[in-house]
Amino acid sequence: METMKQYIEEAEKALLHTYNRYQIVLDKGEGVWLYDIEGKRYLDFCAGIAVFALGYHNRKYNDALKAQIDKLIHTSNYYYNVPAIEAARKIKEVSGMDRVFFTNSGAEAVEGAIKAARKYAYLKDGRTDHEIIAMEHSFHGRTMGALSVTGNPAYREAFEPMIGNIRFASLNDFESVKKALTEKTCAIIMETVQGEGGVIPAQESFLKQVKALCQERDILLILDEIQCGMGRTGAMFAWQHYGVKPDIMTTAKALGCGIPVGAFLMTEKVGANSLTSGDHGTTYGGNPLAAAAINIVLDLFAENHIIDNVKETGAYLERKLDELAAEYDCIEGRRGRGMLQGLVFSRPVNGVIQKALEKGLILINAGANVIRFVPPLIITREHVDEMAEILKSCLDEME
């Protein structure tokens, strides 16, 4: 068997250098724990970047996927398949949306949402110069369309020109939205809680002002729930806390809990007046295996009362993080909701994350000075306490 060092050296020779990876090779998982190939155990507060909501090695999840693999994996969208029909019904029930298109990733869901918004506007007036307002510091993905509405110039610069006709406003600053508005605006897109940009929730008043503006002008509101959705904030989708229903919504990550799958959903009004036959497609999207993952995930969310646990244990997580913020001068504060949390530091956090990893705790950042906490949604108070103790020891040593 090759050593950890040998595997890493081989990866560095073979894989494209688009990630600065931590120097461990992960091998297996159990519950909220990950193990590297040398057997070291890690408490996981990353969950594959908010993906593994149900934790690792969930028997019912694994069995459902194995059963589907033995039955049918792929057919293409020339044909119907039962798992996709059932998945569409279930996701409509929990979201309150009317139409769904299954994709393979979050970025693809954003691409589809952009296309649907532009087609909706095109059918109204026949013009092709419509504009979309996006938010600064947002993150929507790495493909060209998703990157075009990502509010971080450093991500976009080397790949210009983008798709064009994108204007940027500031989250929670309605005046900036009005300044970006023109007669060409066809959609406003935002994360209900910005993740990569620093764990910044949209304020209820801001969301309601934007929604009212969209209704007044027949502009489509697109809410990106890829990271903050699927129960992570204590509602199935974060916008449900505020009652501000989008016209189009994107989801992915925990939707498949490890199987690559995403979706964009829309109201019947948008569905009936936007994309039609030939406008959009995907070879793999909504295949039986991916749809089987959605089905078992949504079943287990209900069966295991996942959202109830997020509300209870998420509140405890908030309190523990608030205690850390009060205790250490290097922490400026906490922000977030439920099990999507950020600790804001007065300095870069990479050193803290690396030291935590050495002590068996997996954390990730959200920008240079924010530690992001996106654990599996099955964590308990005991896991929160263990995380806090490890983090405290790291901060004490670094102080």
Three-state secondary-structure class, residue 1: coil
User: CB neighbours of 169 closer than 8 A, spacing ≥ 6?
Assistant: 133, 134, 135, 136, 176, 177, 179, 180
Question: What is the mean pLDDT of the segment spanning 358-385?
Answer: 98
Residue 2 has a pLDDT of 86
Rounded-to-integer distance, Cα 301 and Cα 377, Å = 10
Q: Which two tokens stand for residue 41?
A: 């155990």
Total residues belonging to the chain? 399
Rounded-to-integer distance, Cα 36 and Cα 44, Å = 12
Question: What is the mean pLDDT of the segment spanning 283-312?
Answer: 98
pLDDT at 205 > cutoff 80: yes
Angle, CA of 289, 222 and 298, to the nearest 5° = 30
Please report which confidence band the pLDDT of residue 83 belongs to, taking 50, 70 and 90 as the band edges.
Answer: very high
Please report which confidence band the pLDDT of residue 217 belongs to, taking 50, 70 and 90 as the band edges.
Answer: very high
Beta pairing, strands 220-224 & 248-251: parallel
Q: Which of 195, 242, 197 is nearest to 339 (CA)?
A: 195
DSSP code for 151: B
Residue 164, judged by CB atoms within 10 A of its CB (0-12, 13-18, 19+), counts as: exposed
User: CB neighbours of 329 closer than 8 A, spacing ≥ 6?
Assistant: 346
Torsion of CA 78, 142, 110, 146, to 10 degrees: -120
Rounded-to-integer distance, Cα 351 and Cα 176, Å = 36
pLDDT tens readout for residues 229-261: 999 999 999 999 999 999 999 999 999 999 999
Cross-strand pairs, 185: 131
Residue 1 has a pLDDT of 67
Rounded-to-integer distance, Cα 251 and Cα 198, Å = 19
pLDDT at 399 > cutoff 90: no
pLDDT tens readout for residues 85-139: 999 999 999 999 999 999 999 999 999 999 999 999 999 999 999 999 999 999 9
- Work out the percent of the chain whose per-residue pLDDT is above 90: 99
Per-residue buried b or exposed e for 212-230, using 16+ beta carbons within 10 Å of the residue's own CB: ebbeeeebbbbbbbbbbbb
Beta pairing, strands 370-373 & 340-345: antiparallel
pLDDT at 61 > cutoff 80: yes
- Work out the percent of the chain whose per-residue pLDDT is above 70: 100
Residue indicated by tokens 């020109």: 161
- 8 A C-beta contact, residue 163 and residue 145: yes
pLDDT at 339 > cutoff 90: yes
Three-state secondary-structure class, residue 167: strand
Q: What is the largest CA-CA distance in the chain?
A: 64
pLDDT at 204 > cutoff 70: yes
Please report the domains of the chain, with CATH numbers, ordered by start residue.
Answer: 4-54+305-398 (3.90.1150.10), 60-303 (3.40.640.10)
Q: How far apart are the first and last CA of the chain?
A: 40
**Average pLDDT over the chain, rounded to whole?**
97
Question: What is the mean pLDDT of the segment spanning 345-351?
Answer: 97
pLDDT at 174 > cutoff 80: yes
